[in-house]
Structure 1
Amino acid sequence: MHTRNPHTLNLGILAHVDAGKTSLTERLLHSAGVTDELGSVDDGSTRTDSLALEKQRGITIKSAVVSFALDDITVNLIDTPGHPDFIAEVERVLSVLDGAVLVVSAVEGVQAQTRVLMRTLRRLRIPTLIFVNKIDRRGAQEEGVLRALSQRLSVGVVPMGRTAQLGTPEAHFVPGLVPSAIDVLADHDDALLSAYIEDALDHEHLYTALVDQTHQSLVHPVYFGSAITGAGVDALIRGIRELLPAAGGTPDEPLSATVFKIERGPAGEKVAYARMFTGTLRVRDRVPFGDGRREGRVTAISVFDDGEDARGDALQVGRIGKLWGLADIRIGDDIGVPRKASGQFFAPPTLETVVVPGPGVDTRALHLALIRLAEQDPLIDLRHDKVRQETSVSLYGEVQKEVVQATLADEFALEVTFRETTPLCIERPAGTGAAVEFNKKDPNPFLATVGLRVDPAPVGSGVDFRLEVELGSMPYAFFKAVEDTVRETLGQGLHGWEVTDCTVTMTHSGYSPRQSHAHQGFDKSMSSTGADFRGLTPLVLIEALRRADTRVYEPMHDFRIEAPADTLGALLPALAAMRALPRTTGTRGTLCVLRGTVPAAQVHSLEQQLPGLTRGEGELESDFGHYAPVAGGSSPSRPRTDHNPLNRKEYLLNVTRRLEG
């Protein structure tokens, strides 16, 4: 038996939807003695799926934390959503994990979301065990699943035993490293290979190599079992104890934590879920967070322990807790010392829709409710059109739209519908354009000089702001006002879409110094302020964009379809009708594997049509790939929500209430 010092392990449970992830969470809680009775997804009695909507649908929508002890280990277990529409919720959890268990169904095997999750776990080098669930179900496989794990996930897998009476209610797991483990481990360890060849390899050496390579995410131990019957779960628990690494960090280091979830308490107060990486956080501590320019005082702490969360005085290194008092905190904020940026693991949403209030719904109440939802999921990215009194939300898919609708009804008593889902396009400059307006020269009504040049930049580079004027030529606050306004204005280009992949250079600057009349104070009408630069910049930038021109690009998904080869004749015309472009076709036995690209707007239609086109045997995997120029004639546009600098007269009326001339 391999024992270690007491420690904390922050463990994620991940899976394709319906693989049995929440059932496994319930079994682990029961085995650890946290619950007396086993929670059931079907009965809506699970510990982690606490939302009414989760119980009703039998799926996980929000991540949930529950803590329990395995001998000397405190495990903070985080149950995550399995449906691809909630991938952003999974992304936030990944940033706080020490290890993971990826659940795979012994019947369905490796599925589309399984591949997406494993790719990300590997990229982040998160040590991961694999639990093959449902071995008691008819149609369960062992060798077929192991082969699929190795080939379709392209990972080194180490079976930790064998199954017996597979596919029957009596199915069970017989632990013990199988001979093939030596081959997999020796691929990454020359000394192990030499010891094996010289017949000097003992079990201790082999197990040490397994622990080391699991920690490095080089190999993935595989357990078979059933969350419903409990088969194989004891072996998995041993694997969690012995093969996954402890949380690092010490209490002596400076405070560093990350917020991965936000919710509202009974009184409407903001509650932040945080993972401690280093240091200790105490009640009444005043802490910086986010970009360091925001701060707040922690008024209360709740620590997860033994199946509950209880109020405490401090949150220790390695632990997960809930924090009160940080009113301006946001999901993804670092508390204390910022951690090294890890970037976004999954693609942003590529769809959007307008929320339509039902009869009698107060639009202000709806807007406030949507702001609350955006706190919990920033990627839904609210976009409010004050003129039309409309709010748009960004989405990953149609299921997410249904959940937003049900959440508004259940939690806020607001009935809504949605307009048709449309793709979230972007704009990129087609060329170079420049414009300038000078202080005190018509038709410029602002006390500011601003000149800007827009140049195309490499794809994926985002927006870069540069200066071709001396930083000392005017107060820094005015430069900051220009840069901030440039970035804000680029949120809506010539066609209303976000403009990206460009460099904006400030070519001219000027201002009226602080003026005053004799015996009087500061005269605002004769002196430049930040408002002058914020007011003028959109007009100059939009004119520069006009001269550069922009092109609209739509989001495209890379798809992989696996289907019976004899259904290809029906598939290809349907794909062509959806503007999908197949690129490669391969075969795997009697199956064909088709890879290509499809517009994001057509993915839902493809999901719906695929079963009928493939006798129910087709499997689709898709994720965001790139943006492509919109084909055809006129570029799609969306209504503006700003003061519309495209129309100078309207803009000046809105911003200054002064008409030209």
Structure 2
Amino acid sequence: MSRTLNLGILAHVDAGKTSLTERLLHTAGVIDALGSVDAGNTQTDSLALERQRGITIKSAVASFVVGDVVVNLIDTPGHPDFIAEVERVLGVLDGAVLVVSAVEGVQAQTRVLMRTLRRLEIPTVVFVNKMDRRGADGPRVARDVVEKLATGAPIYFGSAITGDGVRELLAGVTSLLPVTDVVDGPLSGTVFKVERGRAGEKVALVRLFSGTVRVRERVKIGDCEGKVTAIAVFEGGSAPRRATARAGQIAKLWGLDVRIGDTIGVARHDRVRHFAPPTLETVVESHDRVTLHAALKQLAEQDPLIDLRLDGDDIVVSLYGEVQKEVLEATLALEYGVAVTFRETRTVRVERLRGVGEAVRFLGESPYAAGIGFRVEPGPEEFRLEVELGSLPLAFFRATEDAVRETLRADRIHDCTVTMTHSGYCSPVSVAGDFRGLAPIVLREALRGAGTVTCEPMHRFRLEIPADVLTAVLAALGKAGGVPLTTTATVLEGHVPAARVHELQRRLPSLTRGEGVLESEFDHYA
């Protein structure tokens, strides 16, 4: 039986990831002719918008065979605005190829990716691409990889365009990176992507870590269940329908009501969140609000970090950057026929509790249809019970907890522990909807009693500069609200408000004669 290697292709923008994916498929004999990003005919950039813009927006899976190893190749976006798409892929990888341009060298995004791969202990090889280009400097980039990425990963050199070095890379990938054998045990898999079929049905892309899933089998999805109605497995350049899918494989599953990140079968807890949450948001407007909301709700299933929410009458979505906003506008127009406009992008701010608050409310007149009491206090984001578990039907507890979590998310309340202190109901009058409607009212009353403080996102930064511009850079950093924590003549590290990062990035070239390098990522709210 063949073994499987689930391989991610990661890189900074324009390093040549998608071209390398195309070359690997051609070298492995899966495609007869090479596609081109510029021509818009590559295998993995299948969205009309991707072909139009020449960038990867959604992760895509392609498959080929090398010896007895089936390689599932996952091409990911390179632009920082689509880092959430990369995040979802990391949890399903056996290994990765980090692509670096031989001309531009190691970029800030390259460092972010390498740090994450190292933290998650994902075995990685480096491919220095574009060695055929004018200005390519392999030895310099190799030194940068070792020094700036602090890695001893194997380094390969070549060109996705000419094919030089690609066979050597392919041999190295299948010999150096770990492949997956069949793993016995209970079914366990992770949904890392959700697509829509031709009839509009959900199709879940799942990496299976153990066990086997079969057509017509009922499988556990968190606390719920679903019936698998069809299966397709990536293998040998296509994804044919199959009766089963086994550990190590990536499969498409039909029939399940799932979201990205859901567990199929037994949960795994060895990999947690990899990248920071989006720190920008915008209000989306359209003359057809009903269609807009339905479309965004469907897109949020495919990208949960869109974080669709209602703020009064406003429809709000979260963003990583302005390019993501442009892509969202084009997607709504092309796929849903909805013309939209956006208000000015703003920084996401959150609320934290000042103290402790309590509230108790009853719905209706005695005998009450519902009674709820809450205590809120600073602490981990948990829902706790001080009432007996048998004091309410389980469905009423679940309705209450769901409403609490939704209210905290909608109101941007962070680091808040909610304890249910009172409960009451009247059988057979009470229904779950009574608790779902009352819980937000009681919770917000308790929050008002506790009081809140508004916090803004702070980025952790690393800034490399020429020694003779230190004074000018420190002045600009102070003006932007930045606080250096460690400073040498050429390297500054510290915190800066997320809202001021773009301004700092814009001023950096003139301050440093174009030699400054700024890396920043979300760290905390303050």
Same fold per superposition (TM over 0.5): yes
2:400 is the counterpart of 1:498 = no
Shift of 1:132: 1.2
Assess, with a 3 A threshold, how the Cα gap between structure 1 residues 571 and 276 changes in structure 2: closer, same or farther.
Answer: same
SS in 2 for 1:272: strand
Shift of 1:67: 0.5
CA offsets per residue over residues 609-661 of structure 1, 9 Å max, x none? 43444444333211101101xxxxxxxxxxxxxxxxxxxxxxxxxxxxxxxxx
2:171 is the counterpart of 1:273 = no
What residue in structure 2 maps to residue 649 of structure 1? Answer: none
Question: How does 1:147-296 map onto structure 2 within 5 Å?
Answer: 147-155=143-151, 157=152, 220-250=153-183, 252-289=184-221, 291-293=222-224, 295-296=225-226
CA offsets per residue over residues 29-71 of structure 1, 9 Å max, x none? 1111112222222222221111222222221111111111112
What residue in structure 1 maps to residue 375 of structure 2? Answer: 453
Report the residue type matching 1:499 in the other structure: I
CA offsets per residue over residues 62-102 of structure 1, 9 Å max, x none? 11111111122211100011111111111111111111111
TM-score of the aligned structures, taking structure 2 as reference length: 0.93
Is the contact made by 1:397 and 1:604 (CA closer than 8 Å) also made in structure 2? no
SS in 2 for 1:61: coil
What residue in structure 1 maps to residue 90 of structure 2? Answer: 94
Distance 2:117 2:335 in 1: 33
2:317 is the counterpart of 1:393 = yes
2:496 is the counterpart of 1:598 = yes
Shift of 1:454: 1.9
Report the residue type matching 1:242 in the other structure: S
Distance 1:152 1:259 in 2: 33
Assess, with a 3 A threshold, how the Cα gap between structure 1 residues 330 and 486 changes in structure 2: closer, same or farther.
Answer: closer
Distance 2:288 2:367 in 1: 39
Distance 2:391 2:208 in 1: 45
Report the residue type matching 2:288 in the other structure: D
Distance 2:169 2:363 in 1: 71
CA offsets per residue over residues 245-299 of structure 1, 9 Å max, x none? 111433x53322221111112221211111222222222222222x131x22222
Assess, with a 3 A threshold, how the Cα gap between structure 1 residues 83 and 564 changes in structure 2: closer, same or farther.
Answer: same
Is the contact made by 1:439 and 1:449 (CA closer than 8 Å) also made in structure 2? yes
Assess, with a 3 A threshold, how the Cα gap between structure 1 residues 602 and 19 changes in structure 2: closer, same or farther.
Answer: same
Is the contact made by 1:440 and 1:447 (CA closer than 8 Å) also made in structure 2? yes
- RMSD of equivalent CA atoms: 2.5
2:333 is the counterpart of 1:431 = no
Is the contact made by 2:180 and 2:248 (CA closer than 8 Å) also made in structure 1? yes
Assess, with a 3 A threshold, how the Cα gap between structure 1 residues 147 and 72 changes in structure 2: closer, same or farther.
Answer: same
Is the contact made by 1:446 and 1:533 (CA closer than 8 Å) also made in structure 2? no
Selected match of 1:621 from 502, 519, 525 = 519
2:266 is the counterpart of 1:344 = no
Distance 1:146 1:448 in 2: 66
Report the residue type matching 1:240 in the other structure: V
2:253 is the counterpart of 1:323 = yes
What residue in structure 2 maps to residue 215 of structure 1? Answer: none
Distance 2:65 2:37 in 1: 23
Aligned length: 526
Assess, with a 3 A threshold, how the Cα gap between structure 1 residues 610 and 450 changes in structure 2: closer, same or farther.
Answer: same
CA offsets per residue over residues 91-146 of structure 1, 9 Å max, x none? 11111111111111222222111111111111111111111112222332333323
Question: How does 1:508-657 map onto structure 2 within 5 Å?
Answer: 508-511=422-425, 513-514=426-427, 524=429, 528-568=430-470, 570-587=472-489, 592-628=490-526
Is the contact made by 1:248 and 1:277 (CA closer than 8 Å) also made in structure 2? no
Is the contact made by 2:5 and 2:72 (CA closer than 8 Å) also made in structure 1? yes
Is the contact made by 1:398 and 1:604 (CA closer than 8 Å) also made in structure 2? no
SS in 1 for 2:74: strand
Assess, with a 3 A threshold, how the Cα gap between structure 1 residues 536 and 369 changes in structure 2: closer, same or farther.
Answer: closer
Assess, with a 3 A threshold, how the Cα gap between structure 1 residues 611 and 307 changes in structure 2: closer, same or farther.
Answer: farther
Assess, with a 3 A threshold, how the Cα gap between structure 1 residues 42 and 474 changes in structure 2: closer, same or farther.
Answer: closer
What residue in structure 1 maps to residue 291 of structure 2? Answer: 365
Shift of 1:554: 0.8
Distance 1:18 1:347 in 2: 22
What residue in structure 1 maps to residue 330 of structure 2? Answer: 406
Selected match of 2:62 from 58, 63, 66 = 66
Assess, with a 3 A threshold, how the Cα gap between structure 1 residues 77 and 477 changes in structure 2: closer, same or farther.
Answer: closer
Identity over aligned pairs, percent: 64
Selected match of 2:310 from 384, 391, 398 = 384
Distance 2:386 2:197 in 1: 50
Distance 1:363 1:103 in 2: 42
Report the residue type matching 2:218 in the other structure: R
Question: How does 1:125-136 map onto structure 2 within 5 Å?
Answer: 125-136=121-132
What residue in structure 2 maps to residue 634 of structure 1? Answer: none
Is the contact made by 2:363 and 2:434 (CA closer than 8 Å) also made in structure 1? no
Shift of 1:437: 4.0
What residue in structure 2 maps to residue 75 of structure 1? Answer: 71
Assess, with a 3 A threshold, how the Cα gap between structure 1 residues 36 and 536 changes in structure 2: closer, same or farther.
Answer: closer
Residue range with higher mean Cα deviation, 599-608 or 317-326: 599-608
TM-score of the aligned structures, taking structure 1 as reference length: 0.75
Is the contact made by 1:225 and 1:233 (CA closer than 8 Å) also made in structure 2? yes
Distance 1:465 1:340 in 2: 20
Is the contact made by 1:129 and 1:221 (CA closer than 8 Å) also made in structure 2? yes
Is the contact made by 1:446 and 1:535 (CA closer than 8 Å) also made in structure 2? no
Distance 2:394 2:217 in 1: 33
Shift of 1:151: 2.2
Assess, with a 3 A threshold, how the Cα gap between structure 1 residues 479 and 44 changes in structure 2: closer, same or farther.
Answer: closer
What residue in structure 2 maps to residue 657 of structure 1? Answer: none
2:401 is the counterpart of 1:483 = yes
Shift of 1:439: 8.0
Report the residue type matching 2:518 in the other structure: L
Report the residue type matching 2:212 in the other structure: T
SS in 2 for 1:622: strand
Residue range with higher mean Cα deviation, 240-249 or 9-18: 240-249
2:15 is the counterpart of 1:19 = yes
Assess, with a 3 A threshold, how the Cα gap between structure 1 residues 44 and 472 changes in structure 2: closer, same or farther.
Answer: closer
Report the residue type matching 2:500 in the other structure: Q
Unpaired runs of 5+ residues, structure 1, are 158-219, 515-521, 629-661
SS in 2 for 1:607: helix
2:272 is the counterpart of 1:335 = no
Assess, with a 3 A threshold, how the Cα gap between structure 1 residues 372 and 485 changes in structure 2: closer, same or farther.
Answer: closer
CA offsets per residue over residues 328-354 of structure 1, 9 Å max, x none? 111111212222352211111111101
Distance 2:344 2:431 in 1: 43
Report the residue type matching 2:97 in the other structure: V
SS in 2 for 1:237: helix
